[in-house]
Amino acid sequence: MSTQLFNSSDLLGYSILFLDSCVSATKNGTSGNEVISTLLSNKPICDSLFGIAIKAFPMTPEPSLMLIGSLCYSLEASFAPYCLPLIPKTVEWLNTELPPNIYKLLCELVGDISITIQKEFEQYARNYLELILRIFKKPYLTFGDKTGIIQVIGDIIATCPKESQIAVPTVVEILSGVNTVQSEEEDEIIRAISELRTAAFYVYFTIYQNYVIDDVIPFVKITIQLIYISVSDKFFSKMPQLINYITNTIYDIIHNQSAIKSPEFIGEMNNGNIPKLIGTMKEVCSDNECKKMLQSITRYLHIQ
């Protein structure tokens, strides 16, 4: 690519968006995608595309990350050789003051890297989580930005549970604020909050799936409290994804013997809150698998 393009951020941005649309064509059935796929099988061409995107990032961060993301999606397993060289760059970029939507794209790229090179990524997981959690605290992030970032946190915990464990208490503490936001009448806000809470419960679900019993006991009380908050939202019945993730989270808690023997859980059973919760979940659940889980929970806890 001509060095003259780097003298104009607009021209550079449009040029990279054009490259991104070409790369994206390999996966969306666009005419000519076979030719582009053949070109992407040429390593020097891929090297050049990654080089252009990285060099252009300071001037056009969003198009650059879109191009890298499309390359990751199109190359699949062949993306792996580019992951390690991208790690120092993504760390550098995450430490830079950027618009909130760029942070979201950056974090999503980190998530892709963690999944693509899981073993090699392990040594970087803790540092990345610290950076991402710091970004999550920024006050100007939108619901959509936070949702994307939370999902990446879950991906990193899922791919590198051992290395991520030290950050889990901080993750739980930060996510505890997510469910305190109440929905409003607008469908757009209902959908945004539903997606945000669903992402949060994806992380809780991941935590309960990846850590041994004693590790998750400290989080049972706060998880149950957050479930109550979500279920009490008057628009909860319009949030099917959230209903499914909460059902899965309840199922994992119920089948954790230490959890259900904890004083907090026994107290919630005795005061009727857990049976009431299960009853509410049954009323709003439409997914057959979730219905089966709720029936199993009902039998397991001997709820009438």
d(CA 74, CA 77): 9
Any domain includes 90: no
42 and 112 fall within a common domain: no
Any domain includes 279: yes
* pLDDT score for 7: 52
297 and 184 fall within a common domain: yes
* pLDDT score for 274: 92
123 and 224 fall within a common domain: no
Any domain includes 88: no
183 and 146 fall within a common domain: no
pLDDT digits (tens, 9 = 90+) for 15-70: 777 777 777 766 555 544 565 566 667 788 888 888 988 998 988 999 899 989 88
Greater model confidence, 14 or 245: 245
200 and 278 fall within a common domain: yes
118 and 185 fall within a common domain: no
75 and 150 fall within a common domain: no
Confidence band (pLDDT; 50, 70, 90) for 175? Answer: confident
> Structural domain of residue 135, as residue ranges?
97-175
206 and 257 fall within a common domain: yes
187 and 296 fall within a common domain: yes
Of the CA atoms within 13 Å of residue 295, those in its CB half-sphere come to: 7
293 and 181 fall within a common domain: yes
Confidence band (pLDDT; 50, 70, 90) for 252? Answer: confident
Domain count, the chain: 3
pLDDT digits (tens, 9 = 90+) for 278-298: 999 999 999 999 999 999 999
pLDDT digits (tens, 9 = 90+) for 203-244: 988 888 888 667 777 888 888 888 988 888 878 888 888 899
Confidence band (pLDDT; 50, 70, 90) for 183? Answer: low
pLDDT digits (tens, 9 = 90+) for 133-143: 999 988 889 88
203 and 302 fall within a common domain: yes
The chain-wide mean pLDDT, for the chain, equals 85
Q: Which among 39, 10, 8 is positioned nearest to 22, based on CA atoms? A: 39
Any domain includes 84: no
Q: Under 8 Å CB-to-CB from 209, ≥6 apart: which residues?
A: 158, 252
When pLDDT is averaged across residues 198-203 and rounded to a whole number, the result is 91
Any domain includes 87: no
CA 10 vs CA 3, 13, 15, 69: distances in Å: 14, 5, 9, 20
d(CA 90, CA 127): 12
159 and 189 fall within a common domain: no
d(CA 47, CA 61): 18
